[in-house]
Chain A
Amino acid sequence: MKAAFDPPLAASALRTRAMRLLDLADPHQVIEWANAALIEDPTNDSLVALAILDAEDGQEVDSALDAVLAEMGIAPLYPNEAAMILAKKTAEDIIANKVTPHDGARFIWVKLARRVPEVEEALRVFIGLASEWEEDPIHREQYDSDIVRASRSLVRTM
């Protein structure tokens, strides 16, 4: 077992588990992730065990992914934690212009806030901004800016 893990790899593992927990990734994608992660860390035994699994067995894949996280010292995720991890990542991607403000806000609305009621209040601003972006074409540029501002605020508070 390694004593320390590459922080980006740990963050990536956490996001992968979060996506799996919220049904935003299928077992095949998890195994693809594990194979890609092995390039970064080829000596990680739990990653190897995950990468060679049959993707047909989702439970086995999830257990193996949990083992990867456990080896990194990361506790199992709850859905609210998973949703906020992905919301933060989406907000970062909005700020970095990797996704349009509306696409990101709608993802947070539909895929995170509506799926995990515990985080709905914290993410509600994105629901309103995405909804109005769609309904009020005259003010879309302003709503784009509002979404970026809300993203910065979310990232700052997490």
Chain B
Amino acid sequence: MTTAATTTRPAIGHPNSANTPKHAFAPFAPFGPRSSTASNVTLPAQRPNLDLWPGQLASATSPHDFYVSVGAGSQTAVLVHNCGDEPQSAQSGVMLGRQMASEAQMSEGGTSIAGAGSSAPLRAAGQLAEDYGGDAADWSKMTSSSYEGSDGFQFETHWYQNDQLGIRTEFKVNITGGM
């Protein structure tokens, strides 16, 4: 069970990018407007036995990727990744908590997980330098801490960063549990 993949990394949030949504973004919720499917995600299955990888792997099938707002009036797009539908009613309190957590994550200093400051390569660094400026070697991918709600819903925010230019861009929420 997989979803289709796009062929290029969307330059979300770049003011000159054709991929940057110009409309008012939906509130932080998985029922926001779907704009694209960015990746092909396959998750380990619920194991029927104690082999870690027993045969066929289950995967995330739900359509995913939603642009959401950072806050009222914000023009910063956040791509919510790997997210399924939920009933809109009776979710507002939960969604508010998630939105607040998401905003808190985006204000964190973050930890480098690829590129500058990390042992993992950042192969999009050249494209990032082309899109936003600076040296490719100065670009890094960052992660926030992980948030887990009382309902078990878990996510973290990733983004690209260039400390030399003071740029943080292309924020993306990664759902990591509780679906």
Could you tell me which A residues sit within 8 Å of B by CB distance? 12, 15-16, 19, 24-25, 29-30, 32-33, 36, 86, 89-90, 93, 98-100, 102-103, 106-107, 109-111, 114, 124-125, 127-129, 131-139, 142-143, 146, 150
Question: In the assembled complex, how far is the CB of residue B165 from the closest CB belonging to chain A, in whole angstroms?
Answer: 20
Task: Pick 9 A–B contacts, CB within 8 A, sort by A.
Answer: A12-B50, A36-B49, A103-B57, A114-B156, A129-B114, A137-B40, A138-B7, A138-B123, A142-B123
State which size class the interface on B falls in.
35 or more
The 8 A-B residue pairs with the shortest CB-CB distance, nearest first, are: A128-B113, A128-B120, A128-B114, A134-B39, A139-B123, A99-B53, A33-B50, A110-B176
Total cross-chain contacts (CB, 8 A): 117
B169 within 8 Å of A by Cβ? no
Most buried by A among B113, B118, B158: B113
B76 within 8 Å of A by Cβ? no
Contact with A along B5-47 (1 / 0, CB 8 A): 1111100000000000000000000000000001111111001
Q: In the complex, what residues of B have CB within 8 A of residue A16's CB? A: 50
What does DSSP make chain B's interface, helix, strand, loop or mixed?
loop
B111 within 8 Å of A by Cβ? yes
Q: In the complex, what residues of B have CB within 8 A of residue A109's CB? A: 176
Contact with A along B44-64 (1 / 0, CB 8 A): 100111101100010000000
Question: In the assembled complex, how far is the CB of residue B116 from the closest CB belonging to chain A, in whole angstroms?
Answer: 11
Q: In the complex, what residues of B have CB within 8 A of residue A98's CB? A: 53
Assess the B42–A102 pair: CB atoms within 8 A. yes
Known: A135-B9, A136-B123. A128 touches B118 (CB 8 A): yes
**In the docked arrangement, what's the CA distance between A19 and B50, Å?**
8
Most buried by B among A33, A93, A138: A138
Could you tell me which B residues sit within 8 Å of A by CB distance? 5-9, 38-44, 47-50, 52-53, 57, 81, 111-115, 118-124, 141, 143, 146, 154, 156, 158, 172, 174, 176-177
**In the docked arrangement, what's the CA distance between A87 and B109, Å?**
27
**In the docked arrangement, what's the CA distance between A27 and B33, Å?**
41
